Chain A
Amino acid sequence: MLHIINKSPLTNGSLDCCLRVAESGAILLIEDAVYGATKGSAIEGKIRDAMGQFKIHVLLPDLEARGLADRIIEGVTTVDYGGFVELVAGNKNCQSWL
């Protein structure tokens, strides 16, 4: 299953909720959630821990727009919109944690 997060995990509980409920699968960070994919933030450890359980992706155009494309945590995979489409197609279902 693909879990899509679109809010900054530094100010919003969506990612926490997703990590609490979801068992495994893939997580895609888009829009303001891309801040969660950057090194040196207060939640970097949480993202690194989650990598054991989930494959973590980030939407690169959103990261570039926010000036943080050079700070991606190692092991987080970048995708473009085409990659976003393939993630949705490649998983049985998806949930947007709005």
Chain B
Amino acid sequence: MSDIKKFMFVNRKAPYGTIYALESLEVVLITAAFDQDVSLVFIDDGVYQLKKGQQTKGIETKNFSPTYRALDGYDVEKLYVEKESLEARGLSEEDLLVDVTVLGSKEMGELMDQQDVVLSF
């Protein structure tokens, strides 16, 4: 396919409390299969999606956090986390289960400006 667009997925919601994070991840995997330029950004409570050590047995819900580690295999390598959101939640890069690029708010905004399609769920 010749037309490659820049898709950005903006994740601002925490996992488990609602289904948005899981169903968003399903779209990301499909978009990667279409050979598009995919970026994932995690802002606000979205950063909790990447927290290490999620154990969902007690809430009898599927733990989908290992999927973020599998994204690499789908050539989804652009994962960005907003620095201010991490700090506001007492988290640092070491708390996250994948390698990410940490960006300041305005750097994140510039990246968003450059996209063709911005999707948020």
Contacts and interface: CB of A to CB of B under 8 A. Distances in A.
The judgment on whether A and B are partners is yes
Interface of A: 1, 13-14, 17, 20-23, 25, 92-98
A21 B115 contact: no
Contact of A1 (B43, B106, B113): B113
9 contacts: A13-B44, A20-B105, A21-B82, A22-B112, A92-B113, A93-B116, A93-B118, A95-B112, A98-B12
Chain B binding surface SS class: mixed
Nearest to B116: A93
Interface of B: 10, 12-13, 43-44, 82, 84, 105-106, 108-110, 112-113, 115-118, 120-121
Contacts of A92: 113
B44 A95 contact: no
A72 B80 CA distance: 37
